[in-house]
Amino acid sequence: MLLYYLRATDACALSVSSLLTNEQRSIRAVAEESTQVLLIPARQAQKWLG
C-alpha cells in the first residue's frame, strides 16, 4: 500500500505512472475535505504528451 497526500495542482503519481506505462491499475483515493477532481481519458492525455 502506498499512502500520500495531494494538494491543489498536484497529480497522482500512480495515475501518471499508469498512463506512461499503458497499464491499468486499481487506485483508491480518500478526500479529507471538499475536493474537485479532473478526470482525463488516457487516450487524450497520451495525445497531449505526444
| pLDDT digit string, tens, across residues 4-21 | 899 888 988 888 898 889
* pLDDT value of position 25: 87
Prediction pTM value: 0.67
In a domain, 5, yes or no: no
Residue 31 lies in a domain: no
Q: Is 43 inside any structural domain?
A: yes
In a domain, 30, yes or no: no
Q: What is the dihedral of CA 44, 24, 29, 8, to 10 degrees?
A: -30
Cα gap 32→42, rounded to integer Å: 26
> Could you report the per-residue pLDDT of 20-47, keeping only the tens digit for each?
898 888 888 899 999 988 888 989 998 9
Has residue 48 been placed in a domain? yes
